[in-house]
Chains A and B, each alone.
Chain A
Protein backbone atom coordinates (compact mmCIF):
# COMPACT_ATOMS: atom_id res chain seq x y z
CA UNK A 1 0.00 0.00 0.00
CA UNK A 2 1.31 3.42 -0.90
CA UNK A 3 1.33 6.19 1.66
CA UNK A 4 -2.06 7.93 1.81
CA UNK A 5 -0.99 11.20 0.24
CA UNK A 6 -3.74 13.78 0.45
CA UNK A 7 -5.56 11.85 3.13
CA UNK A 8 -5.89 12.19 6.84
CA UNK A 9 -3.18 10.75 9.05
CA UNK A 10 -3.27 10.57 12.81
CA UNK A 11 -0.46 10.61 15.38
CA UNK A 12 0.82 7.09 15.82
CA UNK A 13 0.34 6.09 12.19
CA UNK A 14 3.50 4.76 10.69
CA UNK A 15 4.80 3.88 7.26
CA UNK A 16 7.84 1.98 6.16
CA UNK A 17 10.37 3.82 4.07
CA UNK A 18 9.36 1.74 1.07
CA UNK A 19 5.86 3.12 1.16
CA UNK A 20 7.06 6.68 0.86
CA UNK A 21 9.59 6.07 -1.88
CA UNK A 22 8.67 6.92 -5.41
CA UNK A 23 9.24 4.27 -8.07
CA UNK A 24 12.61 5.68 -9.09
CA UNK A 25 14.89 4.58 -6.29
CA UNK A 26 17.96 6.10 -4.68
CA UNK A 27 16.28 9.45 -4.21
CA UNK A 28 16.56 11.20 -0.93
CA UNK A 29 13.42 11.73 1.10
CA UNK A 30 12.90 14.88 3.11
CA UNK A 31 10.59 14.70 6.09
CA UNK A 32 8.85 17.98 6.92
CA UNK A 33 6.85 19.01 9.96
CA UNK A 34 4.72 16.33 11.54
CA UNK A 35 6.82 13.35 10.48
CA UNK A 36 9.68 11.69 12.28
CA UNK A 37 12.00 8.83 11.47
CA UNK A 38 12.12 6.17 14.12
CA UNK A 39 14.30 3.12 13.44
CA UNK A 40 13.15 1.91 10.06
CA UNK A 41 9.73 3.43 10.31
CA UNK A 42 8.33 6.88 9.73
CA UNK A 43 5.92 8.01 12.40
CA UNK A 44 3.23 10.65 12.19
CA UNK A 45 3.32 13.19 15.02
CA UNK A 46 0.42 15.45 14.11
CA UNK A 47 -3.13 14.94 12.97
CA UNK A 48 -3.56 16.34 9.49
CA UNK A 49 -3.28 15.69 5.79
CA UNK A 50 -0.20 13.97 4.43
CA UNK A 51 1.30 16.06 1.65
CA UNK A 52 3.93 15.29 -0.91
CA UNK A 53 5.93 17.45 -3.25
CA UNK A 54 8.39 16.40 -5.89
CA UNK A 55 11.04 15.18 -5.76
CA UNK A 56 10.71 13.68 -2.29
CA UNK A 57 9.31 16.04 0.31
CA UNK A 58 6.67 14.78 2.72
CA UNK A 59 4.95 16.71 5.46
CA UNK A 60 1.71 16.83 7.44
CA UNK A 61 -0.51 19.83 6.89
CA UNK A 62 -2.64 20.66 9.92
CA UNK A 63 -4.46 23.37 11.76
CA UNK A 64 -1.90 25.32 13.70
CA UNK A 65 -1.80 28.55 15.59
CA UNK A 66 1.60 28.74 17.25
CA UNK A 67 4.37 29.92 14.98
CA UNK A 68 7.75 28.24 15.10
CA UNK A 69 10.40 30.35 13.32
CA UNK A 70 12.26 28.84 10.44
CA UNK A 71 14.97 30.44 8.37
CA UNK A 72 13.90 32.41 5.31
CA UNK A 73 10.26 32.84 6.35
CA UNK A 74 8.59 36.15 5.58
CA UNK A 75 6.78 37.35 8.67
CA UNK A 76 4.73 40.31 9.82
CA UNK A 77 5.80 41.52 13.25
CA UNK A 78 4.97 44.23 15.72
CA UNK A 79 7.80 46.38 17.09
CA UNK A 80 7.62 46.05 20.83
CA UNK A 81 10.68 47.74 22.24
CA UNK A 82 13.75 49.75 21.31
CA UNK A 83 16.91 48.43 22.91
CA UNK A 84 20.06 50.34 21.99
CA UNK A 85 20.61 49.72 18.30
CA UNK A 86 18.12 46.87 18.15
CA UNK A 87 14.38 46.58 17.96
CA UNK A 88 12.53 43.77 19.65
CA UNK A 89 9.79 42.50 17.39
CA UNK A 90 6.91 40.22 18.30
CA UNK A 91 6.49 37.67 15.53
CA UNK A 92 4.33 35.24 17.47
CA UNK A 93 7.13 32.86 18.37
CA UNK A 94 8.05 31.90 21.90
CA UNK A 95 10.80 34.50 21.92
CA UNK A 96 10.79 37.95 20.45
CA UNK A 97 12.87 38.46 17.35
CA UNK A 98 15.60 41.07 17.16
CA UNK A 99 15.88 43.53 14.30
CA UNK A 100 18.96 45.68 13.88
CA UNK A 101 18.35 49.27 12.80
CA UNK A 102 21.03 48.80 10.15
CA UNK A 103 19.06 46.10 8.39
CA UNK A 104 16.77 48.52 6.60
CA UNK A 105 17.27 49.78 3.10
CA UNK A 106 19.53 52.82 3.01
CA UNK A 107 20.12 52.82 6.75
CA UNK A 108 23.50 53.91 8.06
CA UNK A 109 24.80 54.82 11.48
CA UNK A 110 23.87 58.43 10.77
CA UNK A 111 20.68 57.82 8.89
CA UNK A 112 18.48 55.86 11.24
CA UNK A 113 15.25 54.38 9.96
CA UNK A 114 12.03 55.89 11.28
CA UNK A 115 10.59 53.03 13.31
CA UNK A 116 8.43 53.55 16.37
CA UNK A 117 7.22 51.17 19.02
CA UNK A 118 3.94 49.67 17.84
CA UNK A 119 4.81 49.81 14.16
CA UNK A 120 4.29 46.83 11.89
CA UNK A 121 7.25 45.46 9.96
CA UNK A 122 7.32 42.97 7.13
CA UNK A 123 10.60 41.12 7.40
CA UNK A 124 12.50 37.94 6.66
CA UNK A 125 14.01 35.58 9.19
CA UNK A 126 17.79 35.57 9.02
CA UNK A 127 18.50 33.38 12.03
CA UNK A 128 16.08 30.79 13.29
CA UNK A 129 17.61 28.36 15.66
CA UNK A 130 15.89 26.56 18.47
CA UNK A 131 18.53 27.65 20.98
CA UNK A 132 18.91 31.22 19.81
CA UNK A 133 16.85 34.34 19.58
CA UNK A 134 15.42 34.69 16.08
CA UNK A 135 16.76 37.58 14.04
CA UNK A 136 14.88 39.32 11.27
CA UNK A 137 15.99 41.72 8.56
CA UNK A 138 14.19 44.09 6.22
CA UNK A 139 16.70 43.86 3.37
CA UNK A 140 17.72 41.13 0.98
CA UNK A 141 21.29 40.05 0.36
CA UNK A 142 21.74 42.91 -2.16
CA UNK A 143 20.84 45.49 0.45
CA UNK A 144 17.51 46.36 -1.17
CA UNK A 145 14.21 46.39 0.62
CA UNK A 146 12.39 44.21 -1.98
CA UNK A 147 9.01 44.94 -0.46
CA UNK A 148 10.06 44.60 3.15
CA UNK A 149 10.15 47.30 5.78
CA UNK A 150 7.74 49.23 7.95
CA UNK A 151 4.09 48.97 6.96
CA UNK A 152 2.40 52.35 7.31
CA UNK A 153 -0.64 54.40 6.36
CA UNK A 154 -3.54 52.81 8.15
CA UNK A 155 -4.99 49.45 7.37
CA UNK A 156 -5.68 46.76 9.89
CA UNK A 157 -3.72 43.86 11.28
CA UNK A 158 -5.33 40.61 12.34
CA UNK A 159 -4.26 37.14 13.31
CA UNK A 160 -5.24 33.91 11.58
CA UNK A 161 -4.24 30.31 11.86
CA UNK A 162 -0.99 29.39 10.17
CA UNK A 163 -2.56 27.13 7.59
CA UNK A 164 -4.90 29.90 6.48
CA UNK A 165 -1.90 32.21 6.06
CA UNK A 166 -0.17 29.57 3.95
CA UNK A 167 -3.33 29.16 1.90
CA UNK A 168 -3.37 32.89 1.22
CA UNK A 169 0.26 32.81 0.14
CA UNK A 170 -0.42 30.11 -2.42
CA UNK A 171 -0.19 31.75 -5.87
CA UNK A 172 -3.36 29.89 -6.87
CA UNK A 173 -5.30 31.18 -3.87
CA UNK A 174 -8.93 31.46 -4.98
CA UNK A 175 -9.88 33.84 -2.21
CA UNK A 176 -7.39 36.56 -3.06
CA UNK A 177 -8.11 36.21 -6.76
CA UNK A 178 -11.86 36.56 -6.40
CA UNK A 179 -11.47 39.37 -3.87
CA UNK A 180 -9.03 41.09 -6.22
CA UNK A 181 -11.62 41.05 -8.98
CA UNK A 182 -13.98 43.07 -6.84
CA UNK A 183 -11.93 45.26 -4.52
CA UNK A 184 -8.77 47.27 -4.64
CA UNK A 185 -6.66 46.45 -1.66
CA UNK A 186 -3.17 45.97 -0.32
CA UNK A 187 -2.38 42.90 1.70
CA UNK A 188 0.71 41.53 3.34
CA UNK A 189 0.62 38.05 4.74
CA UNK A 190 3.27 36.61 7.02
CA UNK A 191 3.67 32.87 7.45
CA UNK A 192 3.37 33.55 11.17
CA UNK A 193 -0.37 34.03 10.70
CA UNK A 194 -0.43 37.81 10.81
CA UNK A 195 -2.21 39.54 7.99
CA UNK A 196 -2.31 43.26 7.28
CA UNK A 197 -4.95 44.59 4.89
CA UNK A 198 -5.83 48.00 3.62
CA UNK A 199 -8.64 48.76 1.22
CA UNK A 200 -10.12 51.95 -0.20
CA UNK A 201 -12.15 52.71 2.90
CA UNK A 202 -12.80 51.30 6.35
CA UNK A 203 -16.00 49.49 5.39
CA UNK A 204 -14.12 47.56 2.76
CA UNK A 205 -11.26 46.86 5.14
CA UNK A 206 -13.59 45.43 7.76
CA UNK A 207 -15.34 43.38 5.10
CA UNK A 208 -12.03 42.00 3.85
CA UNK A 209 -10.87 41.10 7.34
CA UNK A 210 -14.04 39.18 8.04
CA UNK A 211 -14.03 37.51 4.63
CA UNK A 212 -10.52 36.20 5.12
CA UNK A 213 -11.35 34.88 8.58
CA UNK A 214 -14.61 33.32 7.38
CA UNK A 215 -12.92 31.61 4.43
CA UNK A 216 -10.91 29.27 6.62
CA UNK A 217 -13.21 26.26 6.44
CA UNK A 218 -14.79 26.88 3.08
CA UNK A 219 -14.11 25.26 -0.23
CA UNK A 220 -13.41 27.18 -3.40
CA UNK A 221 -16.98 27.34 -4.66
CA UNK A 222 -18.24 28.61 -1.35
CA UNK A 223 -15.47 31.22 -1.28
CA UNK A 224 -16.44 32.51 -4.72
CA UNK A 225 -20.08 32.70 -3.70
CA UNK A 226 -19.15 34.52 -0.49
CA UNK A 227 -17.00 37.09 -2.31
CA UNK A 228 -19.89 37.82 -4.64
CA UNK A 229 -22.27 38.44 -1.76
CA UNK A 230 -19.76 40.52 0.16
CA UNK A 231 -19.03 42.84 -2.74
CA UNK A 232 -22.76 43.33 -3.28
CA UNK A 233 -23.40 44.14 0.35
CA UNK A 234 -20.38 46.44 0.62
CA UNK A 235 -21.29 48.44 -2.47
CA UNK A 236 -24.74 49.03 -1.07
CA UNK A 237 -23.40 50.08 2.30
CA UNK A 238 -21.13 52.58 0.69
CA UNK A 239 -24.06 54.14 -1.15
CA UNK A 240 -25.95 54.62 2.10
Chain B
Protein backbone atom coordinates (compact mmCIF):
# COMPACT_ATOMS: atom_id res chain seq x y z
CA UNK B 1 0.00 0.00 0.00
CA UNK B 2 2.74 2.42 0.98
CA UNK B 3 4.69 1.46 -2.13
CA UNK B 4 1.64 1.97 -4.36
CA UNK B 5 1.13 5.39 -2.75
CA UNK B 6 4.76 6.28 -3.32
CA UNK B 7 4.58 5.07 -6.94
CA UNK B 8 1.45 7.09 -7.67
CA UNK B 9 2.36 10.22 -5.68
CA UNK B 10 6.14 10.62 -5.61
CA UNK B 11 5.82 14.30 -4.63
CA UNK B 12 2.51 15.02 -2.83
CA UNK B 13 3.26 18.75 -2.43
CA UNK B 14 3.96 19.05 -6.14
CA UNK B 15 0.64 17.39 -6.90
CA UNK B 16 -1.24 19.90 -4.76
CA UNK B 17 0.75 22.79 -6.22
CA UNK B 18 0.06 21.76 -9.82
CA UNK B 19 -3.66 21.36 -9.09
CA UNK B 20 -3.75 24.82 -7.49
CA UNK B 21 -1.86 26.38 -10.43
CA UNK B 22 -4.26 24.74 -12.90
CA UNK B 23 -7.32 26.08 -11.06
CA UNK B 24 -5.75 29.57 -10.87
CA UNK B 25 -5.01 29.46 -14.61
CA UNK B 26 -8.67 28.72 -15.33
CA UNK B 27 -9.59 31.80 -13.27
CA UNK B 28 -12.77 30.13 -12.01
CA UNK B 29 -13.33 27.29 -9.60
CA UNK B 30 -15.46 24.44 -10.90
CA UNK B 31 -15.50 20.80 -9.87
CA UNK B 32 -14.46 19.56 -13.31
CA UNK B 33 -11.42 21.81 -13.40
CA UNK B 34 -10.36 20.76 -9.89
CA UNK B 35 -10.58 17.09 -10.89
CA UNK B 36 -8.64 17.74 -14.09
CA UNK B 37 -6.02 19.68 -12.11
CA UNK B 38 -5.58 16.75 -9.73
CA UNK B 39 -5.24 14.37 -12.69
CA UNK B 40 -2.53 16.62 -14.15
CA UNK B 41 -0.94 16.84 -10.69
CA UNK B 42 -0.65 13.07 -10.59
CA UNK B 43 0.48 12.52 -14.18
CA UNK B 44 3.19 15.22 -14.38
CA UNK B 45 5.15 14.27 -11.21
CA UNK B 46 4.84 10.61 -12.21
CA UNK B 47 6.29 11.29 -15.68
CA UNK B 48 9.09 13.53 -14.43
CA UNK B 49 9.94 11.61 -11.25
CA UNK B 50 13.05 10.15 -12.91
CA UNK B 51 14.64 13.64 -12.68
CA UNK B 52 13.84 14.14 -9.00
CA UNK B 53 14.68 10.87 -7.31
CA UNK B 54 14.56 12.05 -3.67
CA UNK B 55 11.58 13.50 -1.91
CA UNK B 56 12.80 16.18 0.51
CA UNK B 57 12.30 14.82 4.02
CA UNK B 58 11.10 16.68 7.09
CA UNK B 59 9.73 19.74 5.31
CA UNK B 60 7.68 21.96 7.65
CA UNK B 61 4.96 23.83 5.82
CA UNK B 62 3.86 25.98 8.79
CA UNK B 63 7.34 27.40 9.39
CA UNK B 64 7.73 27.95 5.65
CA UNK B 65 4.61 30.16 5.74
CA UNK B 66 6.00 32.37 8.52
CA UNK B 67 9.36 32.46 6.68
CA UNK B 68 7.55 33.67 3.53
CA UNK B 69 5.89 36.49 5.48
CA UNK B 70 9.24 37.58 6.96
CA UNK B 71 10.87 37.55 3.51
CA UNK B 72 8.02 39.59 1.99
CA UNK B 73 8.42 42.20 4.72
CA UNK B 74 12.20 42.29 4.23
CA UNK B 75 11.74 42.75 0.49
CA UNK B 76 9.52 45.78 1.12
CA UNK B 77 11.87 47.41 3.65
CA UNK B 78 15.03 46.69 1.67
CA UNK B 79 13.43 48.01 -1.54
CA UNK B 80 12.93 51.41 0.05
CA UNK B 81 16.50 51.40 1.41
CA UNK B 82 17.99 50.46 -1.96
CA UNK B 83 15.84 52.99 -3.81
CA UNK B 84 17.25 55.60 -1.43
CA UNK B 85 20.81 54.41 -2.16
CA UNK B 86 20.19 54.51 -5.94
CA UNK B 87 18.81 58.03 -5.80
CA UNK B 88 21.17 59.67 -3.30
CA UNK B 89 24.56 57.91 -3.12
CA UNK B 90 26.90 59.00 -5.94
CA UNK B 91 28.91 56.34 -7.76
CA UNK B 92 32.20 57.47 -6.21
CA UNK B 93 30.92 56.90 -2.67
CA UNK B 94 29.30 53.55 -3.39
CA UNK B 95 30.95 50.68 -1.53
CA UNK B 96 30.07 47.39 -3.22
CA UNK B 97 31.58 44.28 -1.66
CA UNK B 98 31.81 40.54 -2.08
CA UNK B 99 30.89 38.62 1.04
CA UNK B 100 31.15 34.88 1.64
CA UNK B 101 28.35 33.18 3.55
CA UNK B 102 29.41 29.85 5.08
CA UNK B 103 26.65 27.34 4.42
CA UNK B 104 25.42 25.05 7.15
CA UNK B 105 22.54 23.81 5.04
CA UNK B 106 23.24 20.64 3.10
CA UNK B 107 20.07 19.84 1.12
CA UNK B 108 20.08 21.29 -2.43
CA UNK B 109 16.48 22.50 -2.00
CA UNK B 110 17.37 24.46 1.14
CA UNK B 111 20.42 26.07 -0.51
CA UNK B 112 18.27 27.00 -3.50
CA UNK B 113 15.69 28.68 -1.26
CA UNK B 114 18.43 30.56 0.62
CA UNK B 115 20.10 31.77 -2.60
CA UNK B 116 16.73 32.82 -4.03
CA UNK B 117 15.87 34.72 -0.86
CA UNK B 118 19.20 36.56 -0.91
CA UNK B 119 18.68 37.61 -4.53
CA UNK B 120 15.05 38.68 -4.00
CA UNK B 121 15.90 40.96 -1.08
CA UNK B 122 17.37 44.02 -2.82
CA UNK B 123 20.91 45.05 -2.05
CA UNK B 124 22.26 41.51 -2.16
CA UNK B 125 22.64 39.10 -5.09
CA UNK B 126 23.80 35.54 -4.62
CA UNK B 127 26.40 34.99 -7.31
CA UNK B 128 28.03 31.61 -6.97
CA UNK B 129 28.46 28.47 -4.94
CA UNK B 130 31.88 27.04 -4.06
CA UNK B 131 32.82 23.85 -5.85
CA UNK B 132 31.93 21.54 -2.96
CA UNK B 133 28.96 23.60 -1.82
CA UNK B 134 30.24 24.83 1.53
CA UNK B 135 29.99 28.57 0.91
CA UNK B 136 27.82 30.98 -1.00
CA UNK B 137 29.25 34.05 -2.75
CA UNK B 138 27.06 37.13 -2.28
CA UNK B 139 27.48 40.55 -3.85
CA UNK B 140 26.37 43.51 -1.72
CA UNK B 141 25.46 46.81 -3.36
CA UNK B 142 26.47 49.20 -0.59
CA UNK B 143 27.75 48.36 2.85
CA UNK B 144 30.14 49.67 5.48
CA UNK B 145 30.13 46.43 7.43
CA UNK B 146 30.42 43.24 5.32
CA UNK B 147 30.56 40.97 8.40
CA UNK B 148 27.28 42.41 9.63
CA UNK B 149 25.63 41.42 6.35
CA UNK B 150 26.85 37.84 6.77
CA UNK B 151 25.58 37.78 10.36
CA UNK B 152 22.19 39.08 9.30
CA UNK B 153 21.83 36.48 6.53
CA UNK B 154 22.82 33.76 8.99
CA UNK B 155 20.53 34.71 11.84
CA UNK B 156 17.59 35.90 9.77
CA UNK B 157 17.42 33.32 6.98
CA UNK B 158 19.81 30.43 7.41
CA UNK B 159 18.80 29.51 10.97
CA UNK B 160 15.13 29.55 10.05
CA UNK B 161 15.77 27.43 6.94
CA UNK B 162 17.67 24.93 9.08
CA UNK B 163 14.51 24.46 11.13
CA UNK B 164 12.33 24.16 8.03
CA UNK B 165 14.48 21.55 6.26
CA UNK B 166 15.68 19.40 9.12
Instruction: Answer yes or no: do A and B interact.
Output: no
Interface residues of A (CB under 8 A from B): none
